[in-house]
Amino acid sequence: MFIILGIVITLWGLGILYSVFFKMKKKDYSNKTDSSEVFEEIGAMFYLLKIFPWPVVKAVIIVIGFSFVISGIIILIVS
C-alpha cells in the first residue's frame, strides 16, 4: 500500500513541476477568483497569491512540487 502511495505522491509532484516549468505562463500566476470563498483558507491562499509578484508565487509552487517528489521518494525508500 505504501509503495502505491509513494508512487502516486511522486507522480503528483512531477505533474506539478511539469506544469510550472512547461505549461504555466506569466498570466496564470494571478488571482482570477472573487474574494468570497466558501473556505477561509482557500480565500486566504488566493489573497496571498494576488499580493505577491509572480516570481515569488512560481518559486512557492516549485517548492511544493519538490516537496511532493521528495516525500514520495522517502515513502518508497522506507516501505
Provide the residue range defining the domain that includes 39: 2-78
pLDDT tens track for 13-36:
999 898 888 877 766 656 565 555
pLDDT band at 76 (very low <50, low <70, confident <90, very high): very high
1 grid coordinates: 500500500
Instruction: Tell me phi and psi for residue 52, to 5 degrees.
Output: -90, 150
- Report the predicted TM-score, pTM, of the whole model to 2 decimal places: 0.74
Q: Which segment, 12-16, 22-26, 38-42, 56-60, is predicted with the most confidence on average?
A: 12-16
Domain count, the chain: 1
